[in-house]
């Protein structure tokens, strides 16, 4: 399922099918899914813990490390998609709205400098 041939809806359906096939719906409560996202994100961070700051090119050159990173990113994504399914969140709409808010908060030319809250 390459990115350029897969929709968010396709991914949400794939995760929902996986969950349903295992009758895991009773375990997929919002609190548990949000916690699982945090756990998996922490596992992703372990691949970078104590390492010097590296560029993406440097990290990508280590095939074994990249396999672990891909797996943890997939776990974060799967739990995110599951949470969106449970809460009926349209992820494309949510991202678009958030990017519009971010564009107002962080205008071009002011990188890294947040505007004060009103």
84-105 pLDDT, tens digit per residue, is 999 999 999 999 999 999 999 9
Tens digits of residue pLDDT in 42-94: 999 998 888 787 778 788 888 998 999 999 999 999 999 999 999 999 999 99
Q: What are phi and psi of 28, to 5 degrees?
A: -95, 65
At 115 the pLDDT is 58
At 67 the pLDDT is 95
The CATH number of 3-90 is which of 1.25.40.10, 3.90.45.10, 3.30.470.10, 1.10.287.1080?
A: 1.10.287.1080
What are the angstrom distances between the C-alpha of 110 and each of 105, 106, 113?
A: 10, 6, 6
Task: Look up the pTM and report it.
Answer: 0.85
What are the angstrom distances between the C-alpha of 80 and each of 27, 75, 94, 115, 116?
A: 15, 8, 12, 29, 30
At 48 the pLDDT is 85
């Amino acid at each position: 399922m390459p990115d350029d041939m897969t929709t968010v809806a396709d991914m949400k359906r794939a995760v929902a099918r996986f969950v349903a096939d295992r009758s895991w719906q009773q375990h997929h409560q919002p609190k548990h899914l949000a916690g699982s996202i945090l756990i998996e994100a922490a596992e992703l961070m372990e691949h970078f813990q104590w390492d010097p700051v590296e560029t993406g090119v440097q990290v990508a050159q280590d095939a074994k490390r990249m396999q672990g990173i891909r797996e943890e990113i997939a776990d974060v994504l799967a739990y995110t998609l599951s949470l969106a399914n449970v809460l009926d969140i349209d992820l494309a709409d949510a991202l678009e709205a958030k990017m519009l808010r971010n564009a107002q908060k962080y205008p071009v030319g002011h990188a890294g400098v947040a505007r004060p809250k009103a």
